[in-house]
């Protein structure tokens, strides 16, 4: 092959393999070679499994030669965030306490990807148990942004986002609690989809009815993210949030996309937002208006949403991690310890107040969607920050209300369980990407994806390759 196979997206790689233009072994080898070249500077992967991946690639080639039915993702390499279990492959959650843990079973979404023929090449970097603005831990340094190694890929799915942006893999799994798919997707200029909770079921949740966190699909295009979602989604009775029936499969026609009623807001009325993000957002919405005509600046009433999310998140984190952190021999990151302690002293009355505020904000969004089909905001409140450093405690010199406040633009959407997609929308002066967050009513992933596919016809709204190889010298 004279082309760079690693540049292919998932759909192109699959189709080229089906056409016989290239073998699965060649595709997987190209991914592994790219990882070997660039991971030392990016820190995108915590664990790589080349022998296993190549063995599966050879088996896939044998299936194809034997004329066996080809599966939806036959031979396509993918990566999984290291918070999620993978059978036989080390899963550390970014923690020294689990440095040698090897699960016996795949998480359901991973099992579905593998059953569809996708080939796992490794586990991507994340802060310990997903807590922290940067995707790094004491097992592996922080993940660098492929567009500027002095800046961060974001957290907590930053390893997956960086791996995609630099061409290490064509598909990557992420998970999203308060913005952990969307922030890294924005920082790295890729597509990051957080679906309606339950669309990608999970059978391993300790709190089965918890809808604040969900698995997500990450790729360099909305079409590839949709392909990945179609494999991971589907009913499973072991998850009470899962629903019967397949995911919506883009019934929206091209003409209907042009008629979408679009509302937009830089901050949802309550979220802190950097000046450079507001400027980038103004430029992006101006470009959108040229394509879709009149759009309206509008937002639901989000009063109380920030406080409600903080309380409910604190209760979940305290329940899940508090006992582990309290163990005498525990050796955990300050971020995990801080997060696990936020739920101390929470009363039942406060939690019910938070649920009431959550219900009111949800109702406000549903009223908003009676008038508009989608809502567009920035996908992150700040541009990519330095790869090394602590919590994000101020924006433009103004102090924030704690280390979670900069995520308000994304966690408000998590709070009420709406599907949303981060999509590239240009760049900052630094050269790092800027992303939009597109939000739709529950179960309307089709609407998000139809709009995203239309936008990607414009180079401004699709992934662009870093100006230099990820291993090249850059300055921030």
- Give 256 or 451, the one with higher predicted confidence: 451
Contacts of 305 (CB under 8 A, 6+ apart): 268, 270, 357, 358, 361, 408, 412, 415, 416
253 and 327 co-located in one domain: no
Looking at the structure, do residues 247 and 354 belong to the same domain, yes or no?
Answer: yes
Assess if residue 467 is contained within a domain: no
Same domain, 277 and 375: yes
Spatial CA neighbour of 147 closest among 161, 131, 133, 127: 161
Q: Which two tokens stand for residue 13?
A: 């790689």
* 254 vs 149: which has the higher pLDDT: 149
Tens of pLDDT, residue by residue over 108-124, are 999 999 999 999 999 99
Range of the domain at 328: 305-341
- Whether a cis peptide bond, with omega within 30° of 0, leads into 156 is yes
- CATH code (residue 291): 3.90.1300.10
Strand-by-strand arrangement of the 433-439 sheet: 45-48, 119-124, 77-81, 171-176, 214-219, 191-194, 420-427, 433-439, 374-378, 262-264, 296-297
In a domain, 180, yes or no: yes
DSSP state of 269: T
Does 430 lie in the same domain as 327? no
Total of domains in the chain: 2
The predicted-structure confidence for 310-323, as pLDDT tens digits, reads as follows 999 999 999 999 99
Do residues 130 and 165 share a domain? yes
Render pLDDT for 84-97 as a digit per residue (tens, 0 to 9): 999 999 999 999 99
Same domain, 333 and 362: no
Domain membership flag for residue 260: yes
Q: Does residue 468 belong to any structural domain of this protein?
A: no
pLDDT in tens, 395-441: 999 999 999 999 999 999 999 999 999 999 999 999 999 999 999 99
In this structure, the answer to whether residues 99 and 60 fall within a common structural domain is: yes
* Strand partners for 175: 215
Give yes or no: residues 144 and 289 share one domain: yes
- For the chain, what is the total number of helices (H) and then of strands (E)? 14, 15
Q: Which residues are catalytic?
A: 81, 156, 180
Nearest to 197 by CA among 19, 390, 443, 457: 443
Residues 431 and 456 in one domain: yes
For range 371-395, the mean pLDDT: 98
Mean pLDDT of the chain: 95
What is the pLDDT at residue 74?
Answer: 98
Same domain flag for 131 and 251: yes
470 assigned to some structural domain: no
Residue 229 has pLDDT above 90, yes or no: yes
Give this prediction's pTM: 0.97
């Amino acid at each position: 092959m004279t082309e760079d196979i690693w540049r292919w997206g998932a759909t192109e790689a699959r189709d080229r393999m089906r056409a016989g233009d290239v073998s699965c072994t060649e595709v997987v080898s190209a991914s592994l070679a790219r990882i070997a070249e660039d991971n030392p500077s990016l820190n995108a992967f915590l664990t790589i499994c080349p022998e296993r991946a190549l063995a599966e690639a050879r088996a896939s080639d044998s299936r194809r030669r034997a004329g066996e039915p080809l599966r939806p993702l036959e031979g396509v390499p993918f990566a999984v965030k290291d918070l999620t279990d993978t059978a036989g492959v080390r899963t550390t959650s970014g923690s020294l306490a689990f440095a040698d843990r090897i699960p016996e079973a795949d998480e359901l979404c991973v099992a579905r990807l593998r059953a569809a023929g996708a080939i796992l090449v490794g586990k991507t970097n994340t802060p310990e148990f997903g807590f922290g603005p940067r995707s790094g831990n004491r097992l592996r340094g922080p993940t660098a942004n492929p567009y500027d190694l002095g800046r961060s890929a974001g957290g907590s799915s930053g390893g997956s986002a960086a791996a995609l942006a630099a061409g290490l893999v064509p598909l990557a799994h992420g998970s999203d609690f308060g913005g952990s798919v969307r922030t890294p997707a924005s920082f790295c200029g890729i597509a990051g989809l957080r679906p309606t909770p339950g669309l990608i079921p999970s059978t391993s949740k300790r709190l089965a009815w918890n809808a604040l966190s969900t698995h997500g699909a990450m790729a360099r295009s909305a079409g590839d993210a949709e392909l990945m979602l179609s494999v991971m989604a589907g009913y499973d009775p072991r998850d009470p949030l899962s629903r019967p029936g397949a995911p919506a499969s883009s019934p929206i026609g091209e003409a209907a996309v042009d008629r979408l009623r679009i509302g937009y807001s830089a901050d949802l009325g309550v979220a802190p937002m950097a000046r450079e993000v507001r400027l980038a957002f103004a430029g992006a919405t101006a470009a959108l208006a040229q394509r879709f005509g009149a759009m309206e600046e509008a937002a639901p009433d989000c009063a109380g949403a920030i406080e409600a999310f903080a309380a409910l998140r604190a209760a979940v984190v305290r329940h899940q991690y508090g006992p582990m952190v309290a163990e005498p021999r525990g050796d955990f990151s300050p971020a995990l310890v801080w997060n696990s302690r936020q739920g101390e002293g929470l009363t039942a009355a406060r939690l019910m107040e938070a649920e009431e505020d959550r219900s009111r904000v949800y109702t406000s969004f549903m009223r908003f969607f009676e008038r508009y089909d989608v809502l567009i905001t920035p996908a992150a409140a700040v541009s990519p920050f330095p790869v090394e450093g602590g919590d994000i405690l101020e924006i433009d010199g103004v102090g924030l209300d704690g280390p979670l406040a900069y995520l308000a633009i994304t966690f408000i959407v998590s709070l009420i369980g709406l599907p949303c997609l981060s999509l590239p929308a240009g760049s900052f002066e630094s050269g790092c990407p800027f992303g939009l967050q597109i939000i739709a009513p529950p179960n309307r992933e089709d609407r998000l994806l139809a709009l995203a596919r239309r936008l990607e016809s414009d180079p401004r709204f699709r992934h662009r390759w870093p100006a230099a190889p990820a291993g090249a010298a850059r300055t921030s």
